[in-house]
Structure 1
């Protein structure tokens, strides 16, 4: 029967302003998903008094909800940090750090083997704002030391380097920067908080980076279906500088994506170890293949920077160390680029695709000369191919590599 009370609210109004609230004492393995742009305040005093910067209250969706606060705190526990902000991608983490910490007249130093889009951001975007950059040799700490000058305000670090997988003397790099009063920011996507602790490199609290940028897209997500990044610090003033820039840039993440990472995070150590073990088995096997001139994997004794990897990561897993699931190979120079491309196309289980950390193994051929400005005498001649090892049975992956290598050998004969 239709409500004839002239003062009764219309049906839709009643639905929008329905008074029911569920009981508060609900507990489950996964946190609830709270999505909001608008946050409702009980009164004007609360609206004027809430503080979003220290997470004591909620003010607007961009500043966080209970769901994102939980992920931020768990990521701090993973990496040993104290404060965290979430951004839409790993690249957004790099660019946000740059924009927060640099101004016109400043210089940023970047390893020559750093993540390509991060280098490109400095070359094509920071330069427009009067921020200069230079690239240093990641395997030569003295080169870094010589390049630091009064304009240098930030040094990026990466361990290991992107694609070519050189492992730097990270501890010495950080010492050099601290002695000169220069901030350090580490792309910690490969280490993921599991291979080493970025804020406590020596295990005694005496040495650590200032900022850790992490592409949560990779191992924290684990599914190849989420784009997100994090920026973690231990210094409250430094965190606030980044957080305010983060706010002014309007950076935000979707809570369903946060939920996906919260669901995957408890298994990150198990997955990381599985990727690692499979990658090492395949890397060792590939060392024996005549078509492969060099295998670039930090855990291999002859890999560039292996001693630094062992010193920093080697104590994990009963002395076996931790090394993720990523490695590259130099395919012998007798094979042309067309041969190498055909090898990648011939793979059946390995899929052609960027990124890593998901269940599917990936392969990408690279043009190394277009990626490196400095000399690379530690790399043998040939064509570089990167593998990201997924969670398939390693025996199946080895057979797939074997048939593709045989096809390449036949094509080159």
Structure 2
């Protein structure tokens, strides 16, 4: 490792975000890495080709563009290696396929991202993997669910849509003691606010589509692994034959440069609105880990360095009719899936697939992504939604 690289690891996060994963002098001093679109790589001679003794072998195995993003994520995550895949769901699917097979047992937190559950309940069950969901509040009781054939413990924190918090280190330790690999979907926090590997998690999963991309115009996922799991993860990626497009890798690298500035703005606006919402009579609960009133707030403070712009509210009474009236009245908040872009979004959360983490019962759960618009405009927009619900009475 060069002294220049050593110096980069000493920099603070905002500086590292701007310089991680790329040395401009490798490509004639240009500030941004080039977009290298490639399939075929030519070898200088037959012996080199036979030995596969070449920096790049084939486009599927990576290019300078994808390699730059992998290196940047390794720097941010503290990981031994990172793979890139075409979506956040692929970033969930590939590691599960890498470490599970017929007859294995997989423990999955019940507050997991919906498509993760769908993948487990369809593809993995067809493969002969036994899936067992567990209550996010289980704590040390997770140890009682471990079996001789438990190979993976899949975590997400905070929980998808309902934001339950867990003791990440405790659950990672239980998995390791039982001979299982721990994986965690860390999309909400990004590596700026949480580095799962620092808590003993083996693999950190991200939908780079969200805050790293930041502009709602790309699909990408990553899995960052520790030294014990990286080779098997990379081998599985190549066995499946899936990698990221260089254009999307380039856009994500560009997004990383401003991610901390954006995340802090999302954080401030979301907390401002969460506190305002908490004081409203027409809101039964605000599900935001950064609020002292939230049941998992102490766990959040102990483990996380910040909060992103995604949280939920529970309307005070009603059901689908009230939820749709609220959403249809919004003029700034868009009605759409995904989050992490510059724009505010809202949706009615469906928790019907939950076994344990069923969520609040006072009324419909509305998930809000707080974007980068003016906070007062967003406040007025939400007030329009509440007025529409009141008009139904």
TM-score by length of 1: 0.87
Q: CA-to-partner distance for each residue in 1:368-399, whole Å, 9 max, x for gaps?
A: 2x1311254x7342111100111111111001
**Which of the residues 278, 281, 284 maps onto 1:293?**
284
- The whole-number CA distance in structure 2 between the counterparts of 1:343 and 1:381 is 16
Paired residue secondary structure (2:55) = coil
Match in the other structure for 2:353: 371
Partner of residue 402 from structure 1, selected from 383, 386, 390 = 383
Three-state SS of the structure 2 residue aligned to 1:411 is coil
User: Distance between the aligned counterparts of 1:186 and 1:366, measured in 2?
Assistant: 22
| Alignment partner, residue 7 of structure 2 | none
Q: Is the 8 A contact 2:106 2:154 kept in 1?
A: yes
1:64 to 41, 62, 71: 62
Question: More helix by proportion, 1 or 2?
Answer: 2
> Any gaps of 5 or more consecutive residues in structure 2?
1-24
Query: Which residue of the partner structure matches residue 5 of structure 2?
Result: none
Q: What does residue range 263-412 of structure 1 map to in structure 2 within 5 Å? A: 263-313=254-304, 316=305, 322-333=306-317, 335-368=318-351, 370-374=352-356, 376=358, 379-412=360-393
User: 3-state DSSP class of the match of 2:364?
Assistant: strand
Judged with a 3 Å threshold, the aligned counterparts in structure 2 of structure 1 residues 372 and 38 are, in CA distance, closer, same or farther, namely: same
Contact 1:104–1:129 (Cα < 8 Å) also in 2: yes
Cα distance between partner residues in 2 of 1:68 and 1:340: 42
Out of 212-221 and 379-388, give the one that drifted further. 379-388
Q: Does 1:41 align with 2:43?
A: yes
2:212 alignment partner, one of 209, 220, 223: 220
Q: Are the counterparts in 2 of residues 184 and 210 from structure 1 also a CA contact under 8 Å?
A: yes
Is 2:145 the partner of 1:131?
no
Q: Distance in 1 between matches of 2:205 and 2:343?
A: 24
The residue number in structure 2 matching 1:254 is 245
CA distance, structure 2, for counterparts of residue 375 and residue 277 of structure 1: 28
Q: 1:108 to 1:268 in 2, by over 3 A?
A: same
Structure 1 contact 137–143 (Cα < 8 Å) conserved: no
The number of residue pairs the alignment matches comes to 369
After TM superposition, give the deviation of residue 243 of structure 1 in Å. 0.9
| Conserved 8 A contact 2:182-2:203 | yes
**Structure 2 length-normalised TM:** 0.91
Does residue 230 (structure 1) correspond to residue 222 (structure 2)? The answer is yes
Q: Give distance in 1, aligned partners of 2:357 and 2:299.
A: 20
Ranges in structure 1 where 5+ consecutive residues have no aligned partner: 1-22, 202-207, 317-321
Larger Rg: 1
Q: Could you say what secondary structure the match of 1:374 adopts? A: coil
Deviations 1:108-144 (A, max 9, x none): 1100000111111111111111111100011221332
Distance 1:303 1:374 in 2: 18
SS in 1 for 2:190: coil
Whether the 8 Å CA contact 1:87–1:251 is kept in 2: the answer is yes
Confirm or deny: 8 A CA contact 1:221 1:260 kept in the other structure.
Answer: yes
Which residue of structure 1 aligns with residue 118 of structure 2? Answer: 120
| CA distance in structure 2 between the partners assigned to 1:365 and 1:28 by the alignment | 45
Partner of 1:16: none
